[in-house]
Amino acid sequence: MTSPLSLDAWNQLQSLYESKGKSFSTKEAFKSDPKRFSKFSHEFTNFDNSKILFDYSKNLIDEEILSSLIQLAKEANVEKLRNEMFNGDHINTTEDRAVYHVALRNRSMKEMKVDGVNVANEVNDVLQHMKEFSDSVRDGSWKGYTGEKILNVVNIGIGGSDLGPVMVTEALKHYAHESIKVHFVSNVDGTHIVETLKNCKPESTLFLIASKTFTTAETCANAVTAKNWFLNHVKDESHIAKHFVALSTNADEVAKFGIDTKNMFGFENWVGGRYSVWSAIGLSICIYIGFENFDKFLKGAEAIDNHFLNTPIEENIPFLGGLLTIWYNNFHKAQTKLVAPFDQYMHRFPAYLQQLSMESNGKSVTKDSKFVNYETGVVLFGEPTTNAQHSFFQLVHQGTKLIPTDFILAAQSHNPVENNKHQLMLASNYFAQAESLMLGKTKEQVESEGTESSLVPHKMFPGNRPTTSILAQKITPATLGSLIAYYEHVTFVEGAIWGINSFDQWGVELGKVLAKVILKELQTEGDVKTHDASTQGLINQFKAWA
C-alpha cells in the first residue's frame, strides 16, 4: 500500500495549505465569488423525492483545494475500495470478512454476493420475519404468558447492539406505537437494569437480547439478570419463549442461554456491530415505529448507497464530507469534529456517530501492518443544540482550537407548537451559529460599539471557523436512514485515505481481557499483589470499602 504521504495530491495539498490554506478567509471567498454557495452545496434527492441540502460552502476550501482533495481520493484508490465493499469482497482484512451492511438495505433486491452466494433473499427473509413478528407485537396478537399484550420492549445490548436502536427510536419517536414503550439496557452497572425493570411487569414485557456474538460480558450479565427477574415472578421456564427473543449471529450461544432458536433473528458476520442497526438488531425499531417505517429507513440508506456508488467524486456528498475531514485533520491539524443537530429527537445522534467514527478510524496501523506517521481518526463529539450553545460553544467560538462542525436542521418540525415559533427560534440559531462562526467579530466592530478598551479582546471573535450545514426537509425514517448512511460513507472515505482497516476493533480487547482477570480477583478474599502499584492500591481500597 502506498502511504498517503507519498501521493502527489498529498504533497500538493501540503503546498496549498502553506500558500493559502492556513490563511484562507471564507468571508473573503464569499465576497469574491457570488456563486460560492451554489458551487459548494449539493442537494440530495431521496427515493421518496424528499431532499437534503448539504452546504459545504462555509468550509476553508476553494476550487483548487477541493480539486486536490478529489485528486487525493483518486490517487488513494478510494473508489476501488468502495467498489470492493459493494462487491462483497473481504475488505475487513484483519478478520478476513466482507463489509456488507449495504446488502442489508438492498430493498431493490439486486443480486449482492458474498463468497459467491447471493444474500439478497436471505436478508429479505429476515426482514419478513421481523415484519411478521413486529406486526404481531404491535397489533397485540403476540401475547405474554398470561394472555396480556406486550407493552414494554427491553433491548439488552451494548455498543452497536444498543446505540443504533436507542438513537433511531429516539429520533423517530414521532412515529412510535401509541402504547408500546421501548427501553434499552446496556451498562453492566446494575442500576441500568434495575431502574429499567421498575417500569415493567413480566406479563407484558418482551426482552430482545441483542448481541452479534452473544458473548459480550455486559450483555450476557444483563440478560441473565433479566431472565432471573422474569423467572422469579413467573416460575416456569416454558414461558421464556413468549418473552425472550435473540438478535444474533451465534445460534449455539443463543440456545445455551435458553432461547429457542425459532425466536432468533439472525444476521451474518459480514455485518459489523456498529453497522448493524439495519439488521435484526433493528427489531426494537421495527416494533416501535412499524415495519413500513423501518422499510423507509432502509430505503433512505439505500438511496445514499446508490449515490455513493454511482456519483462522480466531484458531486459525491459522502466523498466530499470525508475529504473535508482529511483537509482539517491532516493539514490544518484539527483534532476533533463536532456534530450538532438542531433537533431534540436526534439527541443521541452524536453518541451514535462516536462509535461509528472512532471505533472505525481510531487506528494507528495501516492495512499492510505498518504504524502510521500521520494523524488518523478524529475525536468526534456533539450534543443537540440550542443546548450545546449554552455549554461548550464558548470554546468553539473563542477557544484556541479549530473545531470543524456539522450542523443539522430539518425545515419542518414534527411539533410546530405556538404557531411554529419554537421552530423558527431553533432555525434562527442554526443559521446564526454557522454565520457567526464564519464571520467572527473584529476589533473595529467591537470598538465601534463603545466597548471599554480592556474588554475589547474578550469580545472579539476570530471567525473563519469551518462549518457544514445539513438542511433536511423533515426528519422522517427515510431522511434519518440517509443521514446515517451518509456518515457511514464519510467514515469509509476517511479510513480509505488513511489506509487503515475501518472495520475491525482490536483496541477494545485488552481492557476486556484484563477486566476478566480482575473480576476473579475481586471475587477472591485478600489483597491483590500482581498489578502496578496504582491499580493494586485502588483494587485493595475498593475491596476494603465494598
Shortest distance, position 511 Cβ to ligand F6P, whole Å: 9
Stretch that binds ligand F6P, among 210-218, 288-296, 376-384, 475-483 (CB under 6 A): 210-218
Alpha-carbon distances, residue 345 vs 171, 383, 544 (angstroms)? 4, 11, 44
Shortest distance, position 98 Cβ to ligand F6P, whole Å: 16
Please give the single-letter amino acid code of residue 487. Answer: Y
Residues 6+ apart with CB under 8 A from 214: 220, 246, 248, 249, 250, 253, 254, 257
Shortest distance, position 510 Cβ to ligand F6P, whole Å: 11
**Contacts of ligand F6P in 156-175 (CB under 6 A):** 158-161
Whether 418 is a known active-site residue: answer: no
Count of Cβ atoms closer than 10 Å to residue 48 Cβ: 13
**Contacts of ligand F6P in 496-535 (CB under 6 A):** 505, 508
Shortest distance, position 432 Cβ to ligand F6P, whole Å: 37
Is 387 in a helix, a strand, or coil? helix
Among 92, 152, 155, 211, binds ligand F6P (CB under 6 A): 211
Q: Does 213 bind ligand F6P (CB under 6 A)?
A: yes
- In the set 170, 218, 359, 383, the catalytic residue is 359
**Contacts of ligand F6P in 332-371 (CB under 6 A):** 359
Place of cell 427491553: 154
Q: Does 273 bind ligand F6P (CB under 6 A)?
A: yes
Is 116 in a helix, a strand, or coil? coil
Is 224 in a helix, a strand, or coil? helix
Shortest distance, position 333 Cβ to ligand F6P, whole Å: 29
158 vs 410 by CB, closer to ligand F6P: 158
CA distance 448 to 94: 61
Contact 398, 462 (CB under 8 A): yes
Shortest distance, position 23 Cβ to ligand F6P, whole Å: 41
Contact 341, 167 (CB under 8 A): no
Q: Does 12 bind ligand F6P (CB under 6 A)?
A: no
The interface mask with ligand F6P, positions 219-238, x = CB under 6 A, is x-------------------
Whether 359 is a known active-site residue: answer: yes
Three-class SS of 120-166: HHHHHHHHHHHHHHHHHHHCCCCECCCCCECCEEEEECCHHHCHHHH
Whether 315 is a known active-site residue: answer: no
Q: Does 212 bind ligand F6P (CB under 6 A)?
A: yes
Q: Does 284 bind ligand F6P (CB under 6 A)?
A: no
- In the set 198, 390, 520, 529, the catalytic residue is 390
Residues 6+ apart with CB under 8 A from 491: 322, 356, 357, 360, 361, 502
**Residues contributing to the site for ligand F6P (CB under 6 A):** 158-161, 211-213, 216, 219, 273-274, 359, 505, 508
Give the catalytic positions in this structure: 359, 390, 512
